[in-house]
Each structure stands twice: as C-alpha cells, then as structure tokens.
Amino acid sequence: MGTLYCTTNEFKSRAIPGSAVANSPDAQITPYLERASRVIDGYIPQEVCLTPLTQWDEAVTGLTADLATYYYVTERLGFDPNSGSDVTIKDRYDRALLTLRDVAQRIIRLNVVGTTNPSGVSKENKLIVVGTAKFDWSQF
C-alpha cells in the first residue's frame, strides 16, 4: 500500500452522507483512499514535484476524501450519483477532478512536498515545495 493523503477517520468525517460510512470498517475504506491518492499523484506534474508526496495540506486531504467518497458510495454502496442528495457526491467528485486538472496545467499550485530523488538530482534538490493554495472546503 502506498501513501494515503487522507486517513480513514478524516474520510468518515468528510464523507457525504457520513452515516453511510461512519460504521464502515477501515479495511473496506482504505482501497478507495489508495485509489484516490494515486489519482492525485497522476495529476501532479512530475517535473515539478515527484510522488508519492511526503507532506501535503488540507487541500490534498479534501481532494482525496472527495474522490474516495465517490468511488466508495457508488461502487460499494450502490448510490446513484444522479439521484436526490447523491448529486452532492458527484458535484464534489467533479470539482475535485477540475481542481486536479488545474493542478496538472499549473493553474493551481498545491502546498506539497515530493519524495523520490530523480536520478542525477542531488539530495539537496530532493524535496520540492510547490506553491500554496487555500481552499474553503466548507463551500462544497
């Protein structure tokens, strides 16, 4: 298992609807957090910051939770993202992907630190901090 950018407790506190995941075993949730974390890795420009990350802020945790919530409730619980209150789950997922596309295009910079030392780069350049971004997750 790789680095998770959101803990199971953070996921449970952020997931919508929270009651649907509150009693879910961590072992059921972890694969979805793993998947969401790897999706985020895929959007971070590797020439700017290598993944997996060693440090990240609230923005990355929120993105991970939003992606993992969508994966979990649609695949594990059978929620329909196009019906009733489930639309919120789809909206959060869509916003997360749009944000990650902006990260990939370097429109938005996240406050993160990369890990892997690329060959030919001195250890002094190993950790690269990429800007800062402040997100008000309460609006989502």
The fraction of the chain above a pLDDT of 70, given in percent, is: 79
Between 53 and 16, whose confidence is greater?
A: 53
Q: Can you give the pLDDT at residue 85? A: 63
Q: Is the dihedral of CA 39, 41, 42, 44 positive or negative?
A: positive
The pLDDT tens digits of the residues spanning 75-110 come to: 988 888 777 767 888 899 999 999 999 999 999 988
CA pair distance 54, 128, nearest whole angstrom: 10
Most confident of 30-34, 44-48, 120-124, 125-129: 30-34
pTM confidence score? 0.80
Q: In this predicted model, what pLDDT tens digit does every residue of 49-76 receive, in sequence order?
A: 888 999 999 999 999 999 999 999 889 8
Integer-rounded Cα Rg, in Å, for the chain is 16
pLDDT score, position 56: 94
Share of the chain above pLDDT 90, in %: 49
- What per-residue confidence (pLDDT) applies to 137? 38
